[in-house]
Amino acid sequence: MFDFKTSIVDEARSWIDTPYVHQASCKGGGTDCLGLVRGIWRHLYGKEPEELPAYTRDWSEPQGQEKLWQAALLHLIPKALQDQGPGDVLLFRMKADSVAKHLGIAADVGTFPTFIHAYSGHSVVESPLSEPWQRRVVARFEFPRR
């Protein structure tokens, strides 16, 4: 039987060790955190929901616009922060007074939670969702079931 949440986590894990490449979304070739989510979307649905414009590393910061959050609300289903589940898309605010612009996929939940993300200067990794990371989560979403 097909398990939707397990499929998401398995696909995210299949991207581990993909090098970090800004604006990319190619498993094994290169990706950034948004590219990882885009790749999982393609795995689930075949085609991305919209064409993505080029973006800079500081995109939406000068204007203070939550562009990534707004895009997530268009295509993903919002969840309560405490409603943790594997396969959830996590949105992080890396600095207190900045826009939220880092994404990850919840993997293990419970006592020792982990998440998978493309990390600048590294690659796609599975990291502990430690207290410092948990404090940065500002939104939680799930992929729609189609």
DSSP 2-15: --HHHHHHHHHHHT
In whole angstroms, what separates CA 128 from the centre of its chain? Answer: 15
CA dist 54 and 35 (Å) reads: 12
Radius of gyration of the chain, Cα coordinates, nearest whole angstrom: 14
Give the tens place of pLDDT for each residue, 32-63: 999 999 999 999 999 998 887 767 666 656 56
CA dist 121 and 29 (Å) reads: 15
Reply yes or no on whether the pLDDT at 2 is more than 70.
Answer: no
For the domain covering 4-50+65-142, report its CATH number: 3.90.1720.10
- Output the pLDDT for position 146: 77
Give the tens place of pLDDT for each residue, 47-106: 998 887 767 666 656 566 788 899 999 999 999 999 999 999 999 998 888 889 899 999
The full set of domain ranges for the chain reads 4-50+65-142
Give the tens place of pLDDT for each residue, 9-39: 999 999 999 999 999 999 999 999 999 999 9
pTM of the complete model: 0.93
